[in-house]
Amino acid sequence: MKTALVLGAGGFIGGHLVKRLKREGFWVRGVDLKLPEYAETEADDFVMADLREQSVVRAVIDRRFDEVYQLAADMGGAGYIFTGEHDADIMHNSATINLNVADACHRRTIKRLFYSSSACMYPAYNQEDPDNPNCAEDSAYPAAPDSEYGWEKLFSERLFLAYNRNHGTEFRVARYHNIFGPEGTWDGGKEKAPAAMCRKVAMANTGGTIDIWGDGLQTRSFLYVDECLEGSTRLLRSGFEGPVNIGSDEMVTINQLAGLVADIAGKTIHLNHIPGPLGVRGRNSDNRMIEDRLGWRPSQPLVAGLERTYEWIERQVARNAA
Q: Considering only 46-54, 132-140, 249-257, 307-315, which stretch makes contact with ligand NAD by CB under 6 A?
A: 46-54
Cβ neighbors of 173 (< 8 A, separation 6 or more) are: 115, 117, 157, 160, 161, 241, 242, 243, 244
Question: Is residue 307 part of the contact set for ligand NAD (CB under 6 A)?
Answer: no
Q: What interhelical angle do 302-321 and 254-265 show, nearest 10?
A: 70
Binding site for ligand GDD (CB under 6 A): 75, 77-79, 81, 118-120, 176-178, 191-193, 196, 212-214, 218, 220, 254, 276-279
Torsional class of 168: left (φ above 0), alpha (ψ -120 to 50), beta (otherwise)? left
Q: Is position 125 annotated as part of the catalytic site?
A: no
Q: What interhelical angle do 193-203 and 254-265 show, nearest 10?
A: 40
End-to-end Cα separation, the chain, in angstroms = 44
The SS3 assignment for 274 reads strand
In the complex, residue closest to ligand NAD by CB: 11
Q: Considering CB distances under 5 to 8 angstroms, the limit depending on partner class, which of ligand GDD, ligand NAD, none binds residue 50?
A: ligand NAD
Cα 286 from Cα 220, distance rounded (Å): 12
Q: How far is the CB of 177 from ligand NAD (least distance, A)?
A: 7
Cross-strand pairs, 271: 210
Question: Is residue 13 part of the contact set for ligand NAD (CB under 6 A)?
Answer: yes
Q: Considering CB distances under 5 to 8 angstroms, the limit depending on partner class, which of ligand NAD, ligand GDD, none binds residue 241?
A: none
Question: Is residue 41 part of the contact set for ligand NAD (CB under 6 A)?
Answer: no
Q: Considering CB distances under 5 to 8 angstroms, the limit depending on partner class, which of ligand NAD, ligand GDD, none binds residue 34?
A: ligand NAD
Catalytic annotation, pick one of 69, 149, 176, 224: 149
Question: Is residue 14 part of the contact set for ligand NAD (CB under 6 A)?
Answer: yes
Q: Considering CB distances under 5 to 8 angstroms, the limit depending on partner class, which of ligand NAD, ligand GDD, none binds residue 11?
A: ligand NAD
Question: Is residue 282 part of the contact set for ligand NAD (CB under 6 A)?
Answer: no
Q: Considering CB distances under 5 to 8 angstroms, the limit depending on partner class, which of ligand NAD, ligand GDD, none binds residue 196?
A: ligand GDD
Q: Considering CB distances under 5 to 8 angstroms, the limit depending on partner class, which of ligand GDD, ligand NAD, none binds residue 212?
A: ligand GDD
Judged by beta carbon, residue 34 or residue 272, the one nearer ligand NAD is 34
Could you tell me the sign of the dihedral formed by the alpha carbons of 144, 288, 279, 13, in that order? Answer: negative
Question: Is residue 61 part of the contact set for ligand NAD (CB under 6 A)?
Answer: no
Judged by beta carbon, residue 161 or residue 280, the one nearer ligand GDD is 280
- Neighbour tally for 58: CB within 10 Å: 14
Cross-strand pairs, 115: 70, 173
Cα 291 from Cα 148, distance rounded (Å): 30
Give the phi and the psi of residue 30 in degrees, each rounded to 5. -110, 145
Residue 205 CB burial class (10 angstroms; 0-12, 13-18, ≥19): exposed
**Catalytic residue positions, numbered:** 149
Tell me which residues touch ligand NAD (CB under 6 A).
8, 10-14, 32-34, 50-52, 71-75, 93, 97, 116, 118, 176, 178-179, 192
